[in-house]
Structure 1
C-alpha cells in the first residue's frame, strides 16, 4: 500500500466529510441574539449593570423591606422579646444578661442576648437575605449568564492581575466567603489564587453582613460597598505589582442560554440554605454568648481602654468598637448588629462598618484559608493586617479632609 500525498489526504478527508456531514441553513434564534447582546461590551456592559441593579433591588426589597421589616421585626419585638422578658426569672441575674440581655431593651437589636439578638440576627435578618441571594445567584448561574459576565469583567480584572473567571468567587463571596475561597481554585496560578483569597477575605462582605447593614444603616450601604470595591481595586493593583507570578489569559466556554430547571434550582437552594443554617446560626449564638461573657469579666472594657488611642486617633471610631471586632471573628453580621447599639455619629458608624468588614476574617473563612496551606494563610494574615491599618487610616484621613470625621 503506497503512502498518500498531502493533496490526496485532503481529497480523502473532503470525500469522507461529503458523505457524513450534512449542512443546513443557520437560523438565528432569540437565545442567539441575547447571547450576542450580553457578551459584546457595547451592549453587554449596560445589561450587566441592569442585571446587578435588579439583583440588588430584589435582594434589598425582599430581605430588608418585605421579610425583615414587614414580618420579622414585628414578630420578635412585639411578641418574642416581651414574652421572654416576662417569663425569665430575676432580670438582675447573670443568666438573664447572657440569654435575654438588657432588661430595659425595647427591641431585640438593643437587648443583645443569646435568645433575643442572637435569634433575631440569624433568623430574622440574615436568613431572608441569604435565601434570596442564593436564589437569584442560582438562577443567573443555571441560565448561563455568569460566564458572559466573566468575559465582560476580564479586561477590568486583568488590570489588577486577575482574569474574568475571578468574578465567580467575587459574586459567591457576596453570599458566603467560604464557598468563594473554594472557588478560587478555578484560577490557574498560585499568585492569582492568593490574591483572590486575600481580597475576598478583606473586601467582599457576605450576604449575611449585607442583610444586617440593610437593617442598621440602609442609607449608607451603597457608600460602604463602593468604599470596599475601591479598596479591592487599589490593593489588588498593589498586590499584582508586589507579588511574583504570571497572569495567564482567560479561556472560557460560553454556553447558550437555557431555562433554569426547577429541580436543579430547588436542590441547590436546599443544599446551600441548610449549609447556612448548620454553619451560621451556632456561630451567631456562640458569638453573642462569648461577647456577653467578656463584658461580664471586664475584658471588653480593658481592651477598649488599652486600644483607645489607636481606635480614636488612627481609625476615628469609638473605643467601644473593640467588642464588635471580637465578635467579628465568629460572625461579621453579628458584629455589625452590635455596632448599632453603640452611640456614635453617622461617619463613625460608616468607618466602624468598614473596619469590621476589612478586619480579621470570620472563623469559617479562617478555616478555609488554613485548608489552603500555611503559606497562603500566613501571607493572607500579613496582607490583612497591613491593609487594615493603611486603608482604615486612609478612610479616617479622607473623613477629616472632608470635615465629616
Structure 2
C-alpha cells in the first residue's frame, strides 16, 4: 500500500535526521579568501597579481635560469662544436639535414635536426612547458581556477562564451591539443566551435612562448597585445555572425585546499609525457622537411610566388614563407627559424603574430578533425579570413605609426 503525502514527508525527516548533522558554521581563513577572490572588486586585483606572478616565474625559470643559464652554454659551447667536428663531410646532404650550417656558431642558426631540433625542443621548450604545467596544476588543485572562471565570465560573455572557457584558454597556453579537447565542457555547439577556433588562432602554446622569450624577449609584450586584441575583436564578431545560444555559467566553486603532492606529481608527469611524445618528434620532422624543401628549391619557388602578398600586404620579407611551412608542424620551430631572418622589430612582431594566427600545428589539426570535419573546415575558413584581414591591419597600423 502506498504512503500518503504526510507519511512520505515523515520518512524524509527520519532519513535526514540520521544522515544530516546541524551546528554553527565557523568561517575560517580559507572561506574569507574564497569570498575575496570571487568578488570583482577584490578578485580582479588578485587575479592580475596571480597572472603576473605566473608570468614572472615562467620567464625567470624557463628563460633565465634553465635556458640562458645552462642549456645555451651546453648546446653552443659543447654539443654543437662536438657535432661539427665528429660528423663526416660538412659538404654532404646528410650533414646539412642533421647538423645544419657548418659555419654556424650557435644551435639556433645551425638549423639541423640534431642541433636546432634538440636545442629548441629540450633546451628551450621543455623547461617552459614544465614550469607552465606545474603552475597550472597548482592553481587547479588549490581551487583557484573556478574562481578565475567566475571573474572572467563577464568579459567572455561579450564574445559568446562563459567563464569556464578560461580553462581551455589557459590550457592552450600550455598546449592547444588538450585545450581543444577541453572545449567539450562548454554547453553548446556554438560555444565549442567559437572556443576551438579562437584557440587555434590567437592562443600561443607554452612551447611557442618559450621560444619567443628566448629570441625576441623585448617584443613578446607587443605580440601578446596584438593576440589579445584579435581574440577580443574577432571573438565579438564571430559571436554576432554564428547562430546559437550563449547559456549562463553554472559552476561549482570548491573551497580552497592545499594541493596533494602525489596528485600534482602525477598530473605534471602525464602532461609533460604527452608533450614529449607529441611535440618533440614534430620538431625534428619539421626541421627535416624544411631542409629537404630548401635543397629541392621548393622554399625559394614559394617565396618568389608569394612575395607580393608578404611584402605588399603583410609588410614582411618573403623569407618568412619557410617558417610558415614549418609552423604547420610546430609553431615554436617556426618562431625559432624567424630569428635567423633579418627584419626590423615591427616586421618581427608582424611575422610572429602571423605565425601564431596561421594554420594550427599538425597535432592540433588532428584533434580538431576528431571533433568533426565540418567544424574543422569552418574553422579553417575563418582562419584564412582572419590571417588576411588581421595581418593587413597590423601592417597598416605600422605604416600609420611610421614603424613598418
**TM-score using structure 1 length:** 0.97
How far, CA to CA, are the matches of 1:136 and 1:334 in structure 2? 24
Runs of 4+ in 1 over 4 A off after TM superposition: 1-6, 8-21
Aligned residues between the structures: 404
How far, CA to CA, are the matches of 2:168 and 2:2 in structure 1? 57
**Bigger mean CA deviation after superposition, 78-87 or 14-23:** 14-23
The answer as to 2:336 corresponding to 1:337 is yes
Name 1:253's counterpart in structure 2.
252
1:97-246, aligned counterparts within 5 Å?
Answer: 97-246=96-245
Name 1:327's counterpart in structure 2.
326
Query: Secondary structure, in 3 states, of the residue corresponding to 1:344?
Result: coil
Q: 1:210 to 1:20 in 2, by over 3 A?
A: closer
Q: Post-superposition shift, 1:95?
A: 1.1
Query: Secondary structure, in 3 states, of the residue corresponding to 1:160?
Result: coil
How far, CA to CA, are the matches of 1:375 and 1:157 in structure 2? 25
How far, CA to CA, are the matches of 2:191 and 2:84 in structure 1? 52
Q: Post-superposition shift, 1:9?
A: 7.9
Q: 1:20 to 1:387 in 2, by over 3 A?
A: closer
- For residues 309-344 of structure 1, give each alpha carbon's deviation from its aligned partner in whole angstroms, at most 9, with x where no partner exists: 000000011000000000000000000000000111
**Bigger mean CA deviation after superposition, 268-277 or 122-131:** 268-277
What is the RMSD of the two structures over their aligned residues, measured on CA atoms?
A: 1.7
How far, CA to CA, are the matches of 1:275 and 1:194 in structure 2? 24
Name 1:386's counterpart in structure 2.
385
Q: 1:13 to 1:66 in 2, by over 3 A?
A: same
How far, CA to CA, are the matches of 1:251 and 1:272 in structure 2? 27
Q: 1:77 to 1:17 in 2, by over 3 A?
A: closer
The answer as to 2:347 corresponding to 1:348 is yes
Q: 1:35 to 1:87 in 2, by over 3 A?
A: same
How far, CA to CA, are the matches of 2:244 and 2:348 in structure 1? 39
How far, CA to CA, are the matches of 2:61 and 2:80 in structure 1? 24
Unaligned runs of 5+ in 1: none
1:239-388, aligned counterparts within 5 Å?
Answer: 239-388=238-387
Name 1:44's counterpart in structure 2.
43
- For residues 109-160 of structure 1, give each alpha carbon's deviation from its aligned partner in whole angstroms, at most 9, with x where no partner exists: 0100111001000000000000000000000001010000000000110011
Q: 1:82 to 1:190 in 2, by over 3 A?
A: same
Q: Post-superposition shift, 1:23?
A: 2.6
Q: Post-superposition shift, 1:22?
A: 3.8
How far, CA to CA, are the matches of 1:303 and 1:201 in structure 2? 24
Name 1:92's counterpart in structure 2.
91
- For residues 222-260 of structure 1, give each alpha carbon's deviation from its aligned partner in whole angstroms, at most 9, with x where no partner exists: 111111011001000000000010000110000111110
How far, CA to CA, are the matches of 1:360 and 1:326 in structure 2? 9
How far, CA to CA, are the matches of 1:18 and 1:275 in structure 2? 49
How far, CA to CA, are the matches of 1:22 and 1:345 in structure 2? 69
Query: Secondary structure, in 3 states, of the residue corresponding to 1:114?
Result: coil
Q: Post-superposition shift, 1:186?
A: 0.3
Name 1:26's counterpart in structure 2.
25
**TM-score using structure 2 length:** 0.97
How far, CA to CA, are the matches of 1:133 and 1:181 in structure 2? 17
Query: Secondary structure, in 3 states, of the residue corresponding to 1:278?
Result: helix
How far, CA to CA, are the matches of 1:263 and 1:16 in structure 2? 37
Query: Secondary structure, in 3 states, of the residue corresponding to 1:247?
Result: coil
Name 2:54's counterpart in structure 1.
55
Q: 1:30 to 1:305 in 2, by over 3 A?
A: same
Q: 1:381 to 1:21 in 2, by over 3 A?
A: closer
